[in-house]
Structure 1
């Protein structure tokens, strides 16, 4: 079997700590041929560290000079659409970091480019690849929960504002806690619900703790230039009548350092996902079920193994460009609702 030739756009933390190491675990099937970063020094250093033969500062040059099969987009959110579309048009499958984009129009253009190129466009929603999610998806697909009509999505940190990168820069990221970590749990929720079509969205955002100095559990952040929300809350109502409540926070006065949780409620059963606990009524009893054993894995490792298999075997990825458009519509509507103080209807 020939090797998958891969290029990396963006050489920051997610590329160095996740994308490159996980591609390197599959050297028998993958060759990371080139990296690109706006900083020539960083691109050269990363290439040297990992033994990658080529380094660029211009992603279009990288795409022109090499016949790549797949590209990882690991840049700030503002650049996702431009770079993913260019890679798709160059004939590459694309694994783009979350969120899909900054605007709905960008997400739609990315999906259209993937369809036109007949290439896969998937996203870095690694929680989808958790064993807990795989298990509950089997429960759901077998009908054990019936119709999931309500869910709760939480991504809340006590003082978890990133002290590195551009996570607190609205111009480059498009937002804060919602678009960075809230999007993970929201995507996981929607995936388990079968990605229903949204109809009505109500959201609020807050900037209460991030714009002042304080204790940081993820390093000291630039509080004087903090331009994003530190908390977002919302409710989404779908066309089938189901609903999701959402809570995302970089910083909140709560007990636990971090809560990443999805809770599902169906007419035949429900569950909390992390860790798995299943709630059902059977044989005239209310039952709580937990796995005696569930083999754990590294979510990222599974994500990259599945992406590589998709590219080499031409099979659809778990996260699709069409789902990304739906997700982007919800994220955008939540921000629009927060800004206007009114619920937003999605067409």
Structure 2
């Protein structure tokens, strides 16, 4: 970390010139007078050049290592496909940069652990964009947990479900580049939000079942078209995480599932004193068969992406604010890997 009075403005380079880099990372950096975007890299040079022109970035590159060596930025945003997170994060850390990496951390827990160790060794900030934990709703529930409002939370359900929401762009249906489907793409967000609110309890074992029933048969949905012959990821995975404290977290994820709603992205917590749903935050209990609201937000906070990026920059500048750090990123990566392993083997995977 650095003090706010030194090395300003922060010089930022972006690796991967796709949608999340455009709509989240570059858009946020552009709002700050103490941050300057100095370079962007993409394996498709024309896309990097168009991105640079759109955001008034002075240089565009096709090779991340060449960019890092020539530009020497202070901060790097890694927005490349999942398969390349490890390579790009490690290169940035070795170049002395702080890193904000899109989720998931990497393709395997081993890679995520190497990244964690490298960041600690370099004395640099490594954060992941698990932005749902930065919503005001999530913060409200986390504070309620710490205050004892729920008592013991023994059952949690996290859902990231779409009726027909297979991404028709990018590489989301390519297992070799993504590492998986809805679990590692959207389910991982609700998993992190749930684990954050619960305080990252130790995990005893996981079980899971995955399916490929719709994505390899259909070819279009609410997010465009895809080639069912090239659909190599699961289109749904359902898992159960058992904690050492006796609690259970049920995780349901899908790109395509015959449900009534077009999309469900939420977490529910059931405690001995009270329960809650996350988006929008609503804490409640029962008295004589009547629902009693203890606390409630009228609308879910839609500034969570901004808050995630802001926390990262403030942390880099030396402020003691919460980030989704390398240690917690490793835990989430381990859980994702265990869920995939349990689904593949058809048996539980023990983690402690």
Asked if TM exceeds 0.5, the reply is: yes
Contact (CA 8 Å) 1:152, 1:246: kept in 2 or not?
yes
Distance 1:293 1:173, change over 3 A: closer
| Residue 284 (structure 2) pairs with residue 279 (structure 1) | yes
Contact (CA 8 Å) 2:209, 2:346: kept in 1 or not?
yes
Q: CA offset at residue 174 of structure 1?
A: 0.4
Question: Following the alignment from structure 1 to structure 2, what is the Cα–Cα distance between the partners of residues 23 and 223?
Answer: 37
- Matched residue, 1:171: 176
Distance 1:333 1:293, change over 3 A: closer
- Matched residue, 1:29: 34
What is the SS of the residue equivalent to 1:83?
Answer: helix
What is the SS of the residue equivalent to 1:253?
Answer: coil
> Which of 86, 104, 109 is equivalent to 2:91?
86
Contact (CA 8 Å) 2:315, 2:323: kept in 1 or not?
no
Contact (CA 8 Å) 2:314, 2:321: kept in 1 or not?
no
| Residue 31 (structure 2) pairs with residue 4 (structure 1) | no
> Which of 6, 19, 24 is equivalent to 2:25?
19
CA offsets, 1:205-224, max 9 Å, x none? Answer: 00000001244011112222
Count of residue correspondences: 346
- Matched residue, 1:243: 248
Distance 1:284 1:94, change over 3 A: same
- Matched residue, 1:119: 124
Q: CA offset at residue 290 of structure 1?
A: 4.8
Question: Following the alignment from structure 2 to structure 1, what is the Cα–Cα distance between the partners of residues 50 and 298?
Answer: 42
Instruction: List runs of 5+ in structure 1 lacking aligned partners.
Output: none
Distance 1:151 1:41, change over 3 A: same
Q: CA offset at residue 282 of structure 1?
A: 6.9
Question: Following the alignment from structure 1 to structure 2, what is the Cα–Cα distance between the partners of residues 31 and 275?
Answer: 34
Superposed, 1:1-347 pairs within 5 Å as 1=5, 2-26=8-32, 28-280=33-285, 287-291=292-296, 296-315=301-320, 317-347=322-352
Question: Following the alignment from structure 1 to structure 2, what is the Cα–Cα distance between the partners of residues 285 and 162?
Answer: 41
CA offsets, 1:118-146, max 9 Å, x none? Answer: 11111111111111112112211222112
Contact (CA 8 Å) 2:14, 2:21: kept in 1 or not?
yes
Q: CA offset at residue 283 of structure 1?
A: 10
Contact (CA 8 Å) 2:283, 2:293: kept in 1 or not?
yes
CA offsets, 1:183-231, max 9 Å, x none? Answer: 0000000000001121201011000000012440111122220000000
Question: Following the alignment from structure 1 to structure 2, what is the Cα–Cα distance between the partners of residues 215 and 17?
Answer: 24
What is the SS of the residue equivalent to 1:188?
Answer: helix
What is the SS of the residue equivalent to 2:317?
Answer: helix
Q: CA offset at residue 281 of structure 1?
A: 5.1
Q: CA offset at residue 293 of structure 1?
A: 5.1
Question: Following the alignment from structure 1 to structure 2, what is the Cα–Cα distance between the partners of residues 251 and 214?
Answer: 11
Distance 1:45 1:324, change over 3 A: same
CA offsets, 1:209-254, max 9 Å, x none? Answer: 0001244011112222000000000001112222100000000000
Distance 1:266 1:296, change over 3 A: same
Question: Following the alignment from structure 2 to structure 1, what is the Cα–Cα distance between the partners of residues 153 and 125?
Answer: 29
Relative to the length of structure 1, the TM-score reads: 0.95
Question: Following the alignment from structure 1 to structure 2, what is the Cα–Cα distance between the partners of residues 92 and 314?
Answer: 17
Q: CA offset at residue 316 of structure 1?
A: 5.2
Contact (CA 8 Å) 2:107, 2:179: kept in 1 or not?
yes
Give the superposed CA RMSD: 1.8
Q: CA offset at residue 268 of structure 1?
A: 2.2
Mean Cα deviation higher: 134-143 or 114-123:
134-143
